[in-house]
């Protein structure tokens, strides 16, 4: 599934990384604990779903080669997180759905969660 389709499913606002919306995504990792994210095996086509809005989210995404970060519950990420993601070319999206709702929507659409 393409990132663009995921954004449409979630009614997500695209905060950055518009040029990578055609990236193919196979898996979604969802957690508010970055230590869990770091210890979860994922392929090279995964996205991160989180309610955390700090810089560590973007750094964690970089460490495990996450293709995009989707912030949930309408929690707007901190400006420094958006700036770093922009420098890295990492797409950043924002949805009003909760973490569990987001996971359910993506799972029903066929994404591995």
CB of 51 within 8 A of CB of 71?
yes
Structure confidence by residue, pLDDT tens digits, 35-59? 888 877 777 899 999 999 999 999 9
Burial class (CB in 10 A: 0-12, 13-18, 19+), 81: buried
Domain 3-108: give its CATH architecture. 3-Layer(aba) Sandwich (3.40)
Q: In the chain, count H helices and then E strands.
A: 5, 5
> What is residue 40's predicted lDDT score, i.e. its pLDDT?
77
Kindly state the average pLDDT of the residues 51-76.
94
Structure confidence by residue, pLDDT tens digits, 2-28? 999 999 999 999 999 989 999 999 999
Q: How would you list the strands of the sheet with 68-71, edge to edge?
A: 13-16, 92-94, 68-71, 46-50, 27-30
> What is residue 35's predicted lDDT score, i.e. its pLDDT?
82
CB of 94 within 8 A of CB of 68?
no
More confident residue, 38 or 94: 94
Report the share of the chain in percent with pLDDT over 90.
Answer: 81
């Amino acid at each position: 599934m393409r990132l663009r389709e995921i954004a449409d499913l979630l009614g997500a606002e695209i905060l950055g990384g518009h040029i990578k919306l055609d990236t193919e995504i196979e898996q979604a990792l969802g957690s508010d604990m970055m230590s869990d994210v770091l210890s979860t095996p994922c392929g090279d086509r995964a996205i991160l779903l989180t309610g955390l809005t700090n810089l560590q989210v973007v750094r964690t995404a970089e460490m495990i080669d996450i293709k995009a970060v989707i912030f949930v519950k309408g929690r707007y990420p901190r400006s420094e997180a958006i700036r770093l993601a922009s420098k890295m070319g990492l797409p950043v999206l924002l949805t009003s759905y909760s973490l569990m709702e987001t996971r359910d929507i993506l799972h029903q659409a066929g994404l591995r969660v």
